[in-house]
Amino acid sequence: MPAFKSRIESSLASRKAQGLTRSMNVVFAGNQSILEHDGKRYINFSSNDYLGLANDQVLTHAWQQGLSVYGSGSGASPMVTGFSAAHSNLEAALTEWLGYERAILFGSGFSANQALLFTLLEKSDLLLQDRLNHASLMEAGTLSPAKMKRFKHNDVEHLTSLFDGESNHLVVTEGVFSMDGDCAPLNAITDVTQANKAWLVVDDAHGIGVLGKSGGGSCELANVKPEILVVTFGKAFGMSGAAVLCDQATGDFLMQFARHHVYSTAMPPAQAYALTHAVTMVQEQTWRREKLAELSAYYQECLQNVDGFTQTTTPIKPFVIGESQKVVQVAKSCRRNGIWLTAIRPPTVPKGTSRLRITLTANHTKEQVKTLSLALKQALGAQ
């Protein structure tokens, strides 16, 4: 008898015993500020749709237009016949906006990160990653042939101490950390990376669209240009997919050798068409970033004196409660009061730091933030 069945059962039982079992809910309008579940309506503070584009009618129309021109699917991987004018235009819009020579498209941020690290790293390399980097980066680093060391979160001194003076170093950090909503010290990281003749990769999944005057993200805000920038389209762009921005030669190299690029069906051209539209919306519709800033200030005003409040300059507002069981109870109590929040527990975050991951979007209203704060205070008071 193969061990799979017993392995599956014991893993599920152990997760349950730790109170860490996750579930999937069928929701309607999960991409809007009011979602529906089981016949009830909830204010949604869980999505990553920071700019409120995921259900924007103009963007939906652009996708429909793309469908009528290009049809449903790309039909093949990019190197076969899957690469269209829509893909090429999206790449051009991204390179022009973000100031790189090349943009290589991927079906998701997860695959972009894996493709990048697997393709770039060799055995003699030393990969230095912030210890809170996303699972896609950590897993790719662990499985890559390179040696990987993790530096303490946002700790440039610790990062500096890890360079060994001889290896080929690659430093990888997120621009905005997904579970903490804080920003990497990109100026200091760039300085130390350059001083050690290393390359820097910034995964700006949560910063692109949200930070910087034109929405160019963490790097625009910090005025730095890492060798490689990863942007994803599943958050502020309201869609899905990702791009790796880099110089000409690195782009050619990824195009030739990144297996997730060569051996995977290209994103539908209609999606690339709509994403090009989204790039313009993100750049031009500055009111969305201004609205987020206003809501963020109001959130702070409502909750800053409550234990667990964490100040951030991004729409990600972690509310750290500690114990997994307690965070689940608080989330349930909020749910009874019509607020949809996600409880984030280990292994996604370190033990003892279970939290509510509250996210604001440009579609929320101040009244909704007020309702959230009242429900949260009531839930915490009842503990």
Helices (H), the chain: 4-17, 57-70, 85-98, 109-120, 135-143, 156-162, 186-195, 218-222, 248-257, 259-262, 269-284, 286-303, 324-336, 366-381
Query: Applying CB under 6 A, does 178 fall inside the site for ligand PLP?
Result: yes
Instruction: Please pick, from the candidates 73, 75, 185, 234, the single residue that binds ligand PLP as defined by CB under 6 A.
Output: 234
Task: Return the number of the residue (178 or 276) whose C-beta is nearest ligand PLP.
Answer: 178
Q: Phi and psi for 289 in degrees, rounded to 5?
A: -70, -35
Q: Which span (30-38, 104-112, 144-152, 267-275) binds ligand PLP, by CB under 6 A?
A: 104-112
Task: Return the number of the residue (42 or 106) whose C-beta is nearest ligand PLP.
Answer: 106
For residues 48 and 376, is the Cβ–Cβ distance under 8 A?
A: no
- The continuous run of DSSP H or E covering 244 comes out as strand 242-246
Query: Applying CB under 6 A, does 30 fall inside the site for ligand PLP?
Result: no
Task: Return the number of the residue (182 or 203) whose C-beta is nearest ligand PLP.
Answer: 203
- Tokens 């579609």: give the residue: 363
127 φ/ψ sector (left φ>0, alpha ψ -120 to 50, else beta): beta
Query: Applying CB under 6 A, does 174 fall inside the site for ligand PLP?
Result: yes
- Tokens 């995964």: give the residue: 203
Instruction: List the catalytic residues.
Output: 48, 134, 174, 178, 203, 206, 235
Compute the least distance from the CB of residue 140 to ligand PLP, in Å: 11
Query: Applying CB under 6 A, does 47 fall inside the site for ligand PLP?
Result: no
For residues 261 and 115, is the Cβ–Cβ distance under 8 A?
A: yes
Query: Applying CB under 6 A, does 203 fall inside the site for ligand PLP?
Result: yes
Instruction: Please pick, from the candidates 189, 192, 205, 246, the single residue that binds ligand PLP as defined by CB under 6 A.
Output: 205
Query: Applying CB under 6 A, does 218 fall inside the site for ligand PLP?
Result: no
Query: Applying CB under 6 A, does 232 fall inside the site for ligand PLP?
Result: yes
228-232 sheet: strands from edge to edge: 102-106, 242-246, 228-232, 199-203, 168-174, 125-130, 147-151
Instruction: Please pick, from the candidates 44, 47, 136, 250, the single residue that binds ligand PLP as defined by CB under 6 A.
Output: 136
Tokens of 125: 């390399």
Query: Applying CB under 6 A, does 49 fall inside the site for ligand PLP?
Result: no
Compute the least distance from the CB of residue 201 to ligand PLP, in Å: 11
Q: CA-to-CA distance for 157 and 170, rounded, in angstroms?
A: 16
Query: Applying CB under 6 A, does 134 fall inside the site for ligand PLP?
Result: yes
Query: Applying CB under 6 A, does 108 fall inside the site for ligand PLP?
Result: yes
Task: Return the number of the residue (137 or 159) whose C-beta is nearest ligand PLP.
Answer: 137
Q: CA-to-CA distance for 210 and 49, rounded, in angstroms?
A: 10
Task: Return the number of the residue (125 or 203) whose C-beta is nearest ligand PLP.
Answer: 203
Query: Applying CB under 6 A, does 322 fall inside the site for ligand PLP?
Result: no
Tokens of 2: 């193969």
Compute the least distance from the CB of residue 270 to ligand PLP, in Å: 18
Contacts of 379 (CB under 8 A, 6+ apart): 329, 330, 333, 334, 337
**Closest residue to ligand PLP, Cβ-based?**
109
Q: How many residues bind ligand PLP (CB under 6 A)?
A: 15
Query: Applying CB under 6 A, does 271 fall inside the site for ligand PLP?
Result: no
Per CB under 6 A, residues contacting ligand PLP are: 108-110, 113, 134, 136, 174, 178, 203, 205-206, 232, 234, 240, 242
